[in-house]
Amino acid sequence: MQKHLYFLITAILLNSLIFAQSASEKRILPVELSLFNNGTFMPGKGTLGIWSPTLHPGLSVGTRFYYTQKDRSELFQTAKLGYFYHRHAQHGVQLYTELGYRYKFKPGWYVEPRLGAGYLLSIPAIQVFEFKDGAYQKQAFKGRHQFMGGLAVYAGYSFQQNNKLPLDLFLGYQFWIQSPFVNKYVPVLPNNSVHLGGIYYFKKATNKQ
């Protein structure tokens, strides 16, 4: 059952990205890169309700495709690959997409709410034992295939309009869940990620005939 679920998630992810790419008109390639700190708690805990006092570092890279682009707003979809390390708990490899909306303020400020879902490979960061044949034995390396999904809001500044620099800087907060974390014990684990990063807009090469 789980294999069918993860196959469905992957199929939806790839299909949505192909559709989003076909909807994108401008010949640019946005590359989004961010560093983030991840914490496992419900919103309202930690520092300022979003920040984990213990550092659990992560890195995220991705791109985006546009459905609509107007003077004051944009509707887009992302494709992102991420990694984070939670000491004494897990390594996480993320592959997910987000549907986002950018509203632009003047001069250059913007805000982006995003809705995301995708795949998470959770790898234990501690030695795991299993009880077998009357004794505890070390368990072979085994990653866990899981679902991830959640909401995020980003705010930032774009240098494109005034300084003609193809760069946006942002600060983002992402609340997301992973499931199933531990079957029959912790089926859903809440996560909070605070991102700091930017988006650089590369021009795509054009074929000259």
Rounded to whole angstroms, how far apart are CA atoms 140 and 129? 9
Least confident of 112-116, 157-161, 168-172: 157-161
Of 124, 151, 152, nearest in space to 138 by CA: 124
pLDDT at 191: 94
Average pLDDT score, the chain: 84
Which amino acid does the sequence have at 166? P
Rounded to whole angstroms, how far apart are CA atoms 150 and 167? 26
- % of the chain beyond a pLDDT of 70: 74
User: pTM of the full predicted structure?
Assistant: 0.82
State mean pLDDT over 150-156: 97
In the chain, the domains with their CATH numbers are: 2-203 (2.40.160)
Question: Rounded to an integer, what is the distance from CA 67 to the centroid of its chain?
Answer: 19
For residues 18 and 84, the model is more confident at 84
State mean pLDDT over 115-128: 84
pLDDT at 206: 62
For residues 118 and 138, the model is more confident at 118
Residue appearing with tokens 């996480």? 92
Contact between 99 and 105 (Cβ < 8 Å): no
For residues 162 and 106, the model is more confident at 106
Q: How many CB atoms lie within 10 A of CB 169?
A: 12
What are 52-68's pLDDT values in tens digits? 998 999 999 999 999 99
Residue 20 DSSP symbol:
H
State mean pLDDT over 179-186: 70
Q: Which three-class secondary structure state does DSSP give residue 7?
A: helix
- Would you state the torsion angle of the CA atoms of residues 22, 25, 26, 30, taken in this order, to the nearest 10 degrees? -30
